[in-house]
Amino acid sequence: MNIILIKLFATALTLSQVTTRPDAVKTQFDPVADKAQVVQILRDGCAHMRKAFDIEDINLDELISTAMEDPSAIAGASAPKLLHGLDIGELNTSYRQFCKGENPANSPFDAAEVIAFYNKAVADLPSAQDLKDRKLPGASLILDGAGKRYAEAFEANGRRLSVPIGDVPVMVQKAFVAAEDKRFETHKGIDERGVIRAFIGNLASPGRPAGGSTITQQVVKNLSVGDDVTYERKIREMIVASRLERILGKPQILELYLNGIYLGRGSYGIEMAARSYFGKSVGQLTVPEAALLGGMPKGPNFYNPDKYPDRAKERRAYVLARMKDEGVITEAQLTEAANAPLGLKPIETTRRDSGFYFVDHLTREARTFAGIDSLTSASHVVRSTINAGLQTAVESALQDGLATYERATGRQRYEGPEFNLADSIAKLGGSTPAVEGSVQSVPLVVGGEAKPKAAPVKPAPAVAVAGPKPVPQTPVWQRALESARPVLYDVHWPLAVVLESGRGPVKAGLADGRIVSLDPGIAKGRLQTYDVVRVKLRDPKAKALRADLRVRPSVQGAALVLENRTGRILAMDGGFSYPLSQLNRVTQTVRQPGSTLKPLTYLAALNAGLQPNTLVMDASVTLPPIGGVGQSWSPKNYDGGGSGATTLRRGLEFSKNLVTARLLQGGIADTPPASLTRICDLALEAQLYAECERYYPFVLGSQPVRMVDLAAFYAAVANEGARPAPYALEAVERDGAVLYKREPKEPVRIGSADRVAFYQLKTMLQGVTNHGTAAALARFSGSIAGKTGTSENENDAWFAGFTNEITIVVWVGYDNADGTRRTLGRGQTGGHLAVPIAGTILQAAWANGVARTPLAPPSPEAKRLLADLPIDPRSGARVSGGGFIEHFRLSDGRVADTQYQLLPREVQTAMRPDSEDGDTGGLDDGADVVGDLYGNLTTRREPEPDLFDPFGERPAQPRGRRAQGEGYEGSRSPAWPGTQRSPFGEDEPPRARRRDPDYLFGDDPRY
């Protein structure tokens, strides 16, 4: 038996069952015992069809005979693919056998083969009950911190806003029913007349096969059995549709249909389509708007009103006519609606280009706090904390900073274009790019075909000709670029299409049609025509545009902006680009913080009673093994030496490793192990760690930390010890009901240190940005304090800082998922890499609604226990007038004098050489790298000329000795990549010699 005939009979067997015995549809027949039953079902089905067509006074025999008059039409090349190979004679014989009661001797029918195909087609049939209980995936609307639309979260083919059928006006319902299924209210899931008409039409008019599906069948196809163009799918669809009609009412089926159908513009469901096309809810649609949408299911792309408005109007007119025939609208309404403009709202793209790491984090918080497994399981309104403008700026700053680093160090690599448009341009009829000033290469579009433009000739005299001016033709390459899907859709460098490549300048086209002269840089000689690359314009306002190539870096980074008082996450960027890596390095990774952890040790020392002017020896130190186990620890400064006696403040400002280590010797507790225990306890209370590794290098930042936890600690410093809990999710709503709302929470006070210690630490960290290792921020130091950090061998570069309002943390480094750790290169420190990025973010925050204020004075609680007195910034000694204003803790109403508590006066005096030698008595002679240090650090100071511009692409060299001066991390020029230095010495200046990195921790292999 012919295979096409087998499939047709199996389909007829299905149709016969669902129309004559819908309550007893069999899904399995015995190939031997049920032959006679199958024959009878087929005959009953044919009799039913004849009666159905008799109702409309249509002669079914005549219809079929007419369709079969020209068998060559079906056997020929133009026949439908589904009917290729079908013998029309056999089909006609079979029709007479089952529909006219004949018993032809040459019958091609074999019941066993039909049963076998049918049984296989309906195996594992989906349950109609599943559709009854189906909750359609939806698009959740994500609002930013200001309550404005920021993003949508939806699954593929799931951008919908479901609405109950009661919210859909009857007129809108009738528009879809009139266009798609006029007998929807009366059939039982299958419109047999529609199926037969489609079948006959396919015989008589070969081409794209008509389906004859009802609205119920379309629901089943879209939501259950799939949309394969096969007989098997049609069989399964009819059975499930018939069963669905038995368990759901017509309104519920129509609700599934109207919420499930695709209507173009990326919209699923009537509500999302109404908003997308007309900017209104479905309940506000007018008659012409309802008719336009009602005509879309037949072909959302073919009738696309944006591309084919004439087709869309013709389809709308057809739907309006059907609505008039069904009595939904009057003749006058039809006339008015048919002449109405389309009235489309401009296309609002759903291609979001920022905030992907943030939205990912938001969905995790929704799962954790609101108990919502997926934001795409239904349509929610999600209120978040994000500052949309700042988020984009943070991503741009990080991307630019990472690329600048790789360019400056010679590490960038060109690995090819993002994609190539040659195939797309060819499909659009283009061949040669349109380049300004090149007559021969500009295509002339004639009748859809690109042809060379004729050579220029002498212009004829001007003649006034009435009529509209010709509309400029959009270049083919520009149209291709508009429809392209960028691979790195969240990278904020513009895309450009290479139009001319070769030895000369590279010509490239931007998305807005402008032509630029592109410097290919490291891709010189490797760019091909129609390659699409990323560029950066040198001057976007210039008449002759010039641009530089940008390539994605292999180095990674992350950035976070946190609101200090509330913990609201204003911006979060977990990596260079989300499509390349979905790992959120803000919340899902831990890295060594290096010197950004040092403030924890200084906080413990200040809380123990030391003052910022306490002198500490910046000299070699050896700490005994903890508990007598292992070996001693002998950390080193970067250059292997020390600067002698220095104040606690200067030790932090210039990030002295030896000063930090010496604080363990009596500066916090009586013994180094006891001091370490206090620091660990403080770290645990501050929630920097869940567990503290009790070994000495911990104080230099050897234990990895999450960025979000580090940010919360720095926010606590800004708040004088009140630590906020970072969060992104404010509330979740569904159908107007609040599912979750975050209750306001006051920051939790870190009780292991008082307000005085936190405020003193804050002013010391302001010194870091004023003239210390983050002096590149000196121009903003009146408003920001913070700390740089670089981990072992320059593997991680950090900056963590805060204003009164926000905390900013930036990390730069290479991923080490493969188990290897890659250095950023000698001299690539937190001050050099992370600080410039943070500076850009800081300015972006001020430009996006964050207040710019001077760092706040002490709170009333702290002020009562503080005294502001002038000191000599080098020695820490009190002076009678002038000098630097230091903030001293009061004890019993008096200033606790701890200047010589760790370094006896006689020892310090004995160290001082004859002043005639020009020395400073053991104090570092070169630490004062930015003019004088006098004046209150809570007052904004302008940068000195020695500072390089941290926001340019190439920092200037510091002058004179300062280029090699102590601890001036932020002023060093880019070092040659690949070199290494000892761990945790990021804040010391480079020197000509190299040392084994392990030497820093002595001989104990554990360190």
Using an 8 Å Cβ cutoff, are 980 and 826 in contact? yes
- The answer to whether 571 touches 386, Cβ cutoff 8 Å, is yes
Where the chain has pLDDT below 50, the residues are: 57-58, 60, 63, 67-82, 206-208, 432-467, 914-1007
In terms of DSSP H, where are the helices of 346-475? 356-369, 388-409, 422-427
What is d(CA 26, CA 518) in angstroms, rounded to the nearest whole number? 69
Rounded CA-CA distance 421/596 in Å is 46
Sign of CA dihedral 127, 131, 135, 139: positive
Write out the E strands in 92-148: 140-143
CA distance 446 to 448: 5
Give the strand pairing for 449-452 and 495-500. Answer: unpaired
Q: What residues are paired with 738 via a beta bridge?
A: 733
| Predicted local distance difference test score (pLDDT) of residue 802 | 98
CA distance 145 to 832: 32
E-state strands within 308-406: 381-384
The amino acid sitting at 187 is H
pLDDT digits (tens, 9 = 90+) for 891-932: 999 999 999 999 888 777 666 554 333 333 332 322 222 222
* Cα distance between residue 511 and residue 489, in whole Å: 14
**Nearest to 97, CA basis, from 239, 1, 209:** 1
Amino acid at 807: T
Residue identified by tokens 């004679």 is 89
**Span 276-316, pLDDT tens digits:** 999 999 999 999 999 999 999 999 999 999 989 999 999 99
Q: What is the mean pLDDT of the chain?
A: 82
Q: What span, in angstroms and rounded, lies between the C-alpha atoms of 812 and 797?
A: 5
Calculate the alpha carbon distances from 1 to 15, 97, 727 in Å: 20, 15, 68
Query: 781 with 802: CB under 8 angstroms?
Result: no
Tokens of 569: 């996450």
Share of the chain above pLDDT 90, in %: 61
Torsion angles phi and psi, residue 749, rounded to 5: -75, 135
pTM (2 d.p.):
0.79
Q: Where are the alpha helices (DSSP H) in 153-264?
A: 170-180, 192-204, 215-220, 231-247, 250-260
- Written as one letter, the residue type at 33 is A
Query: What angle separates helix 111-121 from helix 35-55, to the nearest 10 degrees?
Result: 80
What pLDDT is stored for residue 191 in this prediction?
85
DSSP-assigned beta bridge partners for residue 734: 737
Please give the Cα distance from 517 to 515 (Å, whole number): 7
pLDDT score for 912: 56
pLDDT of residue 378: 85
